């Protein structure tokens, strides 16, 4: 209503009794509304600096404590740093350069036996901590068998990919078992790349590695983080009955994002079937883990 009246008043010559179009509009209004004004305390001076403004807002504005009341036993305070008195960064935010006698020993052994680790292939930032022993003092590494080249190309992974990777090293199971046994570990994780180019998807190579390691060091706990073997239940059974202690398989992501994250040959239902097949097999003290 008001915009139309204003446009008409501007086109027409205002009467002599009025001095502006705005007066004419107000006269046509049946219930004139006075302009909104901000009530201010005349005794409160206007803030002249940013610090004054902050003090005024702090005194006028409600705080979080006005809405959330905690019990006395639940109240806590956190120190806040400033430019003049900054707080020290937490220890976990700083990683030391990989080094030390344990680190050098593991790296030399891996190179000598031509072994691969997930730590190196995935460029893990915690590599130095794990190989040097970290807080526990026990060095560890996740061994990756069946080579360092995968036949799949998942978007989240940094491992090299190829349709025709080199054939697996026939001496790798023996080399892996000897290397891990010499490190004196109590728990080790063995995983692998996907080998869709092999008739058994690499399951025989996987089972042989576990069997030889258990022969050299029976008391060690072995977790096998296996691929999906393209949904072949016989491959799952071969690895699950090889003598390992923990059977693990990565689902990677939720079902809705599988096609966006994983290779087209992998899918959510296929991964679930791998875990189901292992579940219906005889347990024999075996643990299952999904990620």
Per-residue DSSP letter, 229: G
Mutual angle of helices 172-183 and 101-113, in 10-degree steps:
160
C-alpha 164/C-alpha 161 separation (Å) is 9
* 154 annotated among ligand-binding-site residues: yes
C-alpha 238/C-alpha 200 separation (Å) is 10
CA-based Rg of the chain, rounded to a whole angstrom?
A: 35
b/e sequence 86-123, b meaning 16+ C-beta within 10 Å: eeeeeeeeeeeebeeebbeebbebbeeeebbbbbbbee
Per-residue DSSP letter, 200: T
* 235 annotated among ligand-binding-site residues: no
* 119 annotated among ligand-binding-site residues: yes
271 touches 232 (CB < 8 A)? no
Annotated binding site for [4Fe-4S] cluster: 119, 124, 130, 150, 154, 157
Mark the binding-site residues, compressed into ranges: 119, 124, 130, 150, 154, 157
């Amino acid at each position: 209503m008001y915009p139309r009246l204003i446009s008409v008043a501007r086109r027409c010559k205002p009467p002599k009794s009025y001095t502006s179009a705005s007066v004419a509009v107000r006269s046509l209004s049946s219930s004139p509304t006075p302009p909104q004004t901000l009530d201010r305390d005349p005794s409160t001076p206007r803030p002249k600096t940013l610090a004054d403004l902050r003090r005024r807002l702090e005194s006028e504005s409600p705080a979080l404590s006005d809405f959330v009341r905690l019990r006395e036993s639940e109240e806590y305070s956190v120190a806040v740093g400033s430019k003049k008195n900054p707080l020290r960064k937490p220890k976990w935010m700083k990683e030391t350069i990989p080094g030390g006698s344990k680190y050098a020993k593991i790296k030399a052994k891996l190179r000598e036996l031509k072994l691969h680790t997930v730590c190196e292939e995935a460029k893990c930032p915690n590599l130095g901590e794990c190989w040097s022993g970290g807080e526990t003092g026990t060095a560890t590494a996740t061994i990756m068998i069946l080579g360092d080249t995968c036949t799949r190309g998942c978007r989240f992974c940094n491992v090299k990919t190829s349709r025709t990777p080199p054939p697996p090293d026939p001496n790798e199971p023996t080399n892996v078992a000897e290397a891990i046994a010499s490190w004196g570990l109590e728990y080790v994780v063995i995983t692998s790349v996907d080998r869709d180019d092999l008739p058994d998807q690499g399951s025989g190579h996987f089972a042989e590695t576990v069997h030889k390691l258990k022969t050299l060091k029976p008391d060690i706990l072995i977790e096998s983080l296996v691929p999906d073997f393209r949904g072949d239940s016989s491959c799952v059974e071969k690895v699950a009955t090889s003598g390992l202690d923990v059977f693990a398989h990565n689902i990677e992501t939720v079902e809705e994002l599988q096609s966006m994250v994983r290779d087209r040959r992998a899918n959510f239902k296929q991964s679930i079937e791998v875990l189901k097949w292992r579940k219906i097999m005889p347990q024999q003290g075996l643990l299952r883990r999904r990620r």
